[in-house]
Amino acid sequence: MSKSETGPPAWDIADPEAAVMSRLVSELAAADTGVDRAGVWSEPLWRLVRDAGATLWSIPTEQGGPACPRPLFLQRYAQLASASLTAAFVLSQHDAAVRRLSAAARHPAAKLWLDRIRSGDAFATVGISQLTTSRRLGAQALVATELVPGRYRLRGAMPWVTAAQRADVFVTGALMEDGRQLLVALPAERPGVAVRPPFALAALQASCTAEVSLDDVHVDDSDLLAEPGADQSSQPSAVGTAGLETSALALGQARAAIDALAGLAADKADLAEPSDELFRAWSDAWSSLLACARGEPDAPNSGHVRSRSNDLVLKATQAYLLARKGSGFVLSEPAQRWARQALFFLVWSCPTPLAQATIRDLAGLCPA
């Protein structure tokens, strides 16, 4: 089947903001090359996202957000990622924080920050990986000590915080001496909070992901998003970065590469069949993601969707790099940037079973 017979699959869901999304995608794509090469925070890039209203998508309608059902929300994520994975990644971390604030809306701190976010006056990000990794028990764990009833001291670090230098508030968690966890809306300006220099990442450097250290930072009950509990990281909406949102970003990045490969097929007949096959694989993976988002009875689980999305984004970006040959390896070219960015999905909130299965597959071994 030729490219003309297949072509890029249409986005499935009618979007009332289609014109806004089309303009935003075009503007982000134009800005993305320069942002990646500069490798520093780009306020103009974030302003495009904010001015389009994207920072409000994750706020429920009952809390003043726009009507954005989950399937449409994921489609918009994929569209943004097809234009700028940096912008989409930063937004995903902001939204992870917003979802946790929304789930805790009855608490004064959550209401305060949601009001500021809705007005465009605050940027939120999430710093909670220390509750979900081995760091939670190590020397650098973030520990909360209750000084007097209702007042706590935080010591340690948030090891992985995106857009840390831009944040006004961190949604974070700390481990208490009795094993309970404290979930906090921590203002960035609180004394003792220090943002370290951004990590030198292989891709997405402009996300300015960094460690944030906390040295005798004081919080009280007015900063809490929940009563101290056994496992705040497993509560609904507590993290929100390892599920379908991540898969949507991977499929958005994959689609950009497949579209570009199909564009080359017009002059290179040998690329027509591979691009058609990648389009079919993308359509199948996208349909699975939407079925999972809708909760359809026969839908695959989110782990299966993530596995397919990871596999496709790696194959699609490397196929386009191969097709572009040496010219695609130049820093100004999207081919090399997309291939580097695809590797991020191997390490970003990648479930252990998927990581183990991928290693076995790369080694030519059968699944365990």
Q: How many CA atoms lie within 13 A of 325 on its CB side?
A: 1
* Rounded-to-integer distance, Cα 365 and Cα 238, Å: 36
For 127-185, the pLDDT digits (tens) are 998 887 644 445 558 999 999 999 999 999 999 999 999 999 999 999 998 889 999 99
Q: State yes or no: pLDDT of 364 exceeds 60.
A: yes
Return mean pLDDT, the chain: 91
Tell me which of 48-52, 104-108, 217-221, 233-237 is least confident.
233-237
Using alpha carbons, list the distances in angstroms from residue 264 to 269, 275, 323.
9, 9, 8
Helix (H, G, I), strand (E, B) or coil at 252: helix
Mean pLDDT on 85-101: 97
Structural domains of the chain, with CATH:
3-118 (1.10.540.10), 124-234 (2.40.110.10), 244-362 (1.20.140.10)
* Rounded-to-integer distance, Cα 301 and Cα 289, Å: 9
Q: State yes or no: pLDDT of 349 exceeds 90.
A: no
* Rounded-to-integer distance, Cα 299 and Cα 331, Å: 40
Asked if residue 185 lies in contact with residue 110, where contact means CB atoms within 8 angstroms, the answer is yes
Q: State yes or no: pLDDT of 6 exceeds 90.
A: no
Q: Which pLDDT belongs to residue 12?
A: 85
Q: Which pLDDT belongs to residue 240?
A: 42
* Rounded-to-integer distance, Cα 75 and Cα 134, Å: 33
Q: State yes or no: pLDDT of 228 exceeds 70.
A: yes
Structure tokens at 70: 């989950």
